């Protein structure tokens, strides 16, 4: 605990800008300014609220006190009297202490109704001049408290003439004075008025969005529950949650361009991880058998409603299993997540009913392409793939390799058609430098993706554990890289060294948490499931 050395009295806005104790900036050691020189002019309402704050202080009321004890949340109180005939004043009086933000005030002379929003929801409060005193009611409550302020109230529960469960205020304490006006959103008969809809406003000022658009909180909670269910599911099976490096000297595990950064003391370039895969599989070498990680990956790519440069991935690796076993696990995992969130494995998504009930349909990569296009691409050469792509009128650049061509053909012709969860199995080897060769089919690997609503949400394979094959695959990647494929991964010698000690056969899985959350919560944009999506800086 530290105390300010001296109190700086503030008479006007100018005094807010600099502490009297701040050392003068020097060219050698510039002092970062907490508030820019050209502070924007304050609106009438902002000035007004600052005046109210000073008036509160002049009256000896701390506008930012330290704590307030509560014994309930709004939803608890409403739940306790959800029966419309049950009068809270029948029987024992229910005393409550709650805290939250004032979202509406309706003054009617000597009494007033106001709404308090807390984490659980909103409840109405009722305050009377006679209960709290004329001076406090008129000069503090009515004149100095505003919509947006955070308060604590104590009182008892009753039901109004209109039947609304309400807290009769016996004590009210300001807990935080809001110096900016909160947008006021009103609702009646299913209509919402003055709803804050501006996407930029909502993403940049998510704190306001969360207050004025309660459905955002629902998505936040559902995302948390989705991750909790996933973690429970994995823990129940005995898999160990681990953490691997974000800062990596060599990146790998996916086809993507990385972010670079620099470590000063070691004077070395580092990459932010694009996947967890190579480190998690090192742990299989170490004998951990079943490991998973839920973490952020970073890919230096464009933004869209499906792409945020940092995103959350769950990766799981289980020793002695293969991709067929992993399919069963994925079905069980996703079905449980859907059921936990919605009470049923069926969800509504963009007009479709999607059922995650097991078992899901299984198709093969090349089989699905043949069904959609009529082309059998088994054993096709790069040039043949190019001809097919052009025959399908796809927009392809002339220098694309076989892997990219397969990917292009598949994602253009097959992916959009897969609405119900579908396993797509057995990918061309060119697309999958870390997956084990198919035990029967030449030129393919044992890999599957799960496509739902036309989007990939999982990627998994029987993990390649033959160090010599792995080296050959890396060398192929290096060749692609030399040819200009910036997403081809570099050779990771330490990873090969680990594998040379012997990695057990294993099944691996990656699940994109953001995209899974989009589907499970019905959100059309990844920015609606990420609290603070990357935006260009404000100016």
Partner RNA sequence: GACCCCGUAGCUCAGUUGGCAGAGCAACGGACUUUUAAUCCGUGGGUCGCAGGUUCGAUCCCUGCCGGGGUCACCA
CB of 538 to RNA, least distance (A): 7
Q: Which is nearer to RNA, 388 or 498 (CB)?
A: 388
Structure tokens at 486: 């910036």
Q: What stretches of 95-240 show up as alpha helix (H) in DSSP? A: 129-132, 134-135, 142-144, 199-204, 206-212, 214-236
Among 16, 39, 45, 494, binds RNA (CB under 7 A): 45
Indicate whether 158 belongs to the interface with RNA (CB under 7 A): yes
- Kind plus residue range of the DSSP H or E element containing 425: strand 422-428
Which window, 21-29, 213-221, 280-288, 510-518, contacts RNA (CB under 7 A)? 510-518
Closest CA to 499 of 474, 460, 470: 470
Percent helix, strand, coil in the chain (nearest 5)? 35, 25, 40
CB of 514 to RNA, least distance (A): 6
CB of 446 to RNA, least distance (A): 18
Among 61, 147, 288, 392, binds RNA (CB under 7 A): 147
Are residues 249 and 494 in contact, defined by beta-carbon separation less than 8 angstroms? no
Among 16, 215, 301, 475, binds RNA (CB under 7 A): 301
DSSP 232-289: HHHHHTTPEE----SEESS--SSSSPPPEEEETTTTEEEEE-S-SHHHHHHHHHTT--
Are residues 428 and 481 in contact, defined by beta-carbon separation less than 8 angstroms? no
Q: Which is nearer to RNA, 27 or 484 (CB)?
A: 484
Which window, 22-30, 78-86, 222-230, 518-526, contacts RNA (CB under 7 A)? 518-526
Site for RNA in 404-423 (CB under 7 A): 404, 407-408, 411
Torsion of CA 301, 303, 309, 314, to 10 degrees: -110
Among 156, 201, 233, 259, binds RNA (CB under 7 A): 201
Which window, 80-88, 347-355, 394-402, 422-430, contacts RNA (CB under 7 A)? 394-402
Say whether 138 sits in a helix, a strand or coil: helix
Size of the site for RNA (CB under 7 A): 83
Q: Which is nearer to RNA, 175 or 424 (CB)?
A: 424
Indicate whether 206 belongs to the interface with RNA (CB under 7 A): no
Indicate whether 18 belongs to the interface with RNA (CB under 7 A): no
CB of 221 to RNA, least distance (A): 21
Site for RNA in 320-379 (CB under 7 A): none
DSSP 30-55: PPPPSS-SSPPPPPHHHHHHHHHHHH
Site for RNA in 181-200 (CB under 7 A): 181, 183-189, 193-200
Inter-axis angle of helices 323-342 and 513-521, nearest 10: 40
Are residues 418 and 451 in contact, defined by beta-carbon separation less than 8 angstroms? yes
Kindly state the DSSP code that residue 359 receives in the 8-state scheme. S
Q: Which is nearer to RNA, 194 or 381 (CB)?
A: 194
Structure tokens at 284: 């299989």
Among 100, 512, 517, 523, binds RNA (CB under 7 A): 512
Indicate whether 3 belongs to the interface with RNA (CB under 7 A): no
CB of 324 to RNA, least distance (A): 21
Site for RNA in 422-481 (CB under 7 A): 456, 459
Site for RNA in 216-275 (CB under 7 A): 254-256
Site for RNA in 46-105 (CB under 7 A): 48, 104-105
Which window, 63-71, 307-315, 346-354, 373-381, contacts RNA (CB under 7 A)? 307-315
CB of 22 to RNA, least distance (A): 26
Which window, 260-268, 328-336, 439-447, 521-529, contacts RNA (CB under 7 A)? 521-529
Q: Which is nearer to RNA, 279 or 319 (CB)?
A: 279
Q: Which is nearer to RNA, 149 or 426 (CB)?
A: 149
**Distance (Å, whole) CA 237 – CA 235:** 5
- Kind plus residue range of the DSSP H or E element containing 473: helix 467-482
For the sheet with 268-272, list strands across it.
247-248, 268-272, 260-263
Q: Which is nearer to RNA, 186 or 497 (CB)?
A: 186
Site for RNA in 106-135 (CB under 7 A): 106-111, 113, 124, 126, 128-130
What are the phi and psi torsion angles at 486 (to 5°)? -70, -10
- Residues near 34 by Cβ (< 8 Å), separated by ≥ 6? none
Closest CA to 516 of 533, 529, 531: 529
CB of 305 to RNA, least distance (A): 4
Which window, 237-245, 260-268, 346-354, 392-400, contacts RNA (CB under 7 A)? 392-400
CB of 461 to RNA, least distance (A): 13
Q: Which is nearer to RNA, 109 or 238 (CB)?
A: 109
Among 92, 267, 395, 398, binds RNA (CB under 7 A): 395
> Looking at 430-497, which runs of residues are DSSP E strands?
444-452, 455-462
Q: Which is nearer to RNA, 460 or 503 (CB)?
A: 460
For the sheet with 455-462, list strands across it.
240-241, 290-298, 310-319, 506-512, 455-462, 444-452, 422-428, 361-364
Indicate whether 302 belongs to the interface with RNA (CB under 7 A): yes
CB of 28 to RNA, least distance (A): 31
CA distances from 440 to 236, 269, 436 (A): 33, 42, 11
């Amino acid at each position: 605990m530290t105390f300010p050395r001296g109190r700086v009295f503030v008479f006007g806005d100018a005094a807010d800008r600099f502490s009297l104790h701040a050392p003068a900036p020097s060219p050698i050691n510039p002092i970062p300014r907490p508030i820019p020189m050209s502070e924007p002019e304050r609106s009438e309402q902002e000035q007004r609220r600052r005046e109210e704050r000073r008036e509160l202080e002049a009256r000896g009321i701390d506008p930012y006190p330290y704590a307030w004890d509560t014994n309930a949340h709004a939803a608890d109180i409403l739940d306790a009297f959800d029966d419309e005939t049950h009068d809270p004043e029948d029987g024992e009086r229910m005393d409550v202490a709650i805290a939250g933000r004032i979202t509406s005030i309706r003054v009617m002379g000597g009494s007033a109704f106001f709404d308090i929003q807390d984490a659980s929801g909103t409840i109405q409060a009722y305050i009377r001049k006679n209960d709290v005193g004329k001076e406090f009611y008129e000069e503090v409550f009515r004149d100095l408290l505003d919509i947006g302020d955070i308060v604590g109230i104590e009182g008892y529960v009753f039901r109004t003439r209109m039947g609304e469960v309400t807290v009769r205020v016996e004590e009210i304490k300001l807990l935080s004075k809001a110096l900016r006006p909160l947008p006021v959103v009103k609702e009646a008969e299913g209509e919402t008025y003055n709803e804050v809809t501006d996407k930029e406003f909502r993403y940049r000022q998510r704190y306001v969005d969360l207050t004025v658009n309660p459905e955002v909180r629902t998505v936040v909670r559902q995302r948390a529950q989705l991750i909790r269910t996933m973690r429970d599911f994995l823990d129940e099976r005995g898999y160990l949650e681990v953490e691997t490096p974000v800062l990596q000297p060599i990146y790998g595990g996916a086809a993507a361009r990385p972010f670079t950064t620099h470590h000063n003391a070691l004077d070395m370039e580092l990459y932010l991880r694009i996947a967890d895969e190579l480190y998690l599989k090192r742990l299989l070498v170490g004998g951990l058998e079943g490991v998973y990680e839920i973490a952020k990956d970073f890919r230096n790519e464009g933004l869209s409603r499906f792409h945020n440069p940092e995103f959350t991935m769950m990766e799981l690796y289980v020793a002695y299993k293969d991709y067929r076993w992993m399919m069963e696990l994925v079905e069980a995992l996703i079905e449980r997540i859907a059921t936990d969130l919605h009470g049923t494995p069926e969800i509504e998504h963009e007009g479709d009913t999607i059922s995650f009930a097991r078992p899901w349909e299984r198709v093969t990569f090349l089989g699905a392409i043949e069904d959609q296009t009529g082309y059998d691409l088994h054993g096709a050469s790069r040039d043949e793939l190019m001809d097919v792509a052009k025959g399908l009128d796809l927009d392809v650049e002339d220098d694309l390799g076989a892997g990219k061509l397969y990917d292009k053909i598949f994602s253009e012709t097959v992916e959009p058609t897969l609405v119900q969860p579908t396993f797509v199995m057995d990918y061309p080897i060119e697309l999958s430098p870390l997956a084990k060769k198919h035990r029967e089919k030449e030129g393919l690997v044992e890999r599957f993706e799960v496509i739902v609503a036309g989007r990939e949400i999982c990627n998994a394979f029987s993990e390649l554990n033959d160090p010599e094959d792995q080296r050959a695959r890396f060398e192929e990647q290096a060749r692609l890289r030399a040819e200009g494929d910036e997403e081809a991964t570099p050779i990771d010698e330490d990873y090969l060294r680990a594998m040379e000690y012997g990695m057990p056969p294993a099944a691996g899985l990656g699940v994109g948490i953001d995209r899974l959350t989009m589907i499970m919560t019905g959100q059309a944009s990844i920015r609606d499931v990420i609290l603070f999506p990357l935006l260009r800086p404000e100016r």
